[in-house]
Amino acid sequence: MCELTPKAGTPNRSVHLADPRALRAYAHSTRMKLVGLLRVEGPFTATRAAELTGESVASCSYHLRMLAEYGLVEEAEGGQGREKPWRATARYTVWQGADSEAAEALNTAMAQRYFERMTQAVETRQQLPREWREAEQFGDDVVYLTAAELAELGEQFSVLLESYGERFDDPSRRPEGAEPVTVLRIAFRNRRGEAAS
């Protein structure tokens, strides 16, 4: 993975988790949701976190402190107590290479989170303008690759997405009508006989 040097005042490119305790802490659905929201909506307070997640302020405050303990979030400037704002420390969380039962549990929790978000997108897509409904993509392909080619494909996809990366940190670079779009990158070795749908 290519690490970029962050601009002053912007989050790091990624935070790497290897400690099984950190992996288990991040696998909690509310914590994954908070980190994701902070990356897109943040910084914000525990009070705002409660509004966005439907959790209590006390619960959000607790989860934000737990995330801070493992370097996923940090206090931002201003405020005190429950009114202190929090921000994500990085745009991405990486645990590749973490070989433990905790890493597998986090992989499973993340897959469930992706499924929930995809299901919500499908269930609510009729509320979108037609141009967005037609632009959305749901589908799959089966291609024959070596492990090295699959890794290369991932690198090429990262480069393509990074061409839009400046827009994340600098809203002035976003064209009119730009909205946050979740792009899932999921590629796994297919079991023989399971064709694309």
Position 79 scores a pLDDT of: 79
Q: What is the full per-residue pLDDT of the chain (197 aa) written as tens digits?
A: 223 333 334 457 889 999 999 999 999 999 999 999 999 988 999 999 999 999 999 999 999 999 999 999 999 988 776 689 999 999 889 998 777 899 999 999 999 999 999 999 999 999 999 999 999 988 888 899 999 999 999 999 999 998 998 898 889 999 999 999 988 888 888 876 555 55
Rounded CA-CA distance 106/95 in Å is 9
Taking alpha carbons only, the member of 91, 60, 57, 81 closest to residue 161 is 91
Residue 38: burial class (beta carbons within 10 Å; 0-12, 13-18, 19+): buried
Position 159 scores a pLDDT of: 93
HSE, CB side, 13 Å, CA atoms: give it for residue 195. 1
Position 8 scores a pLDDT of: 37
Q: What is the 8-class DSSP label of residue 89? A: S
Position 168 scores a pLDDT of: 86
Position 36 scores a pLDDT of: 93
Position 83 scores a pLDDT of: 81
Position 7 scores a pLDDT of: 36
Position 78 scores a pLDDT of: 84
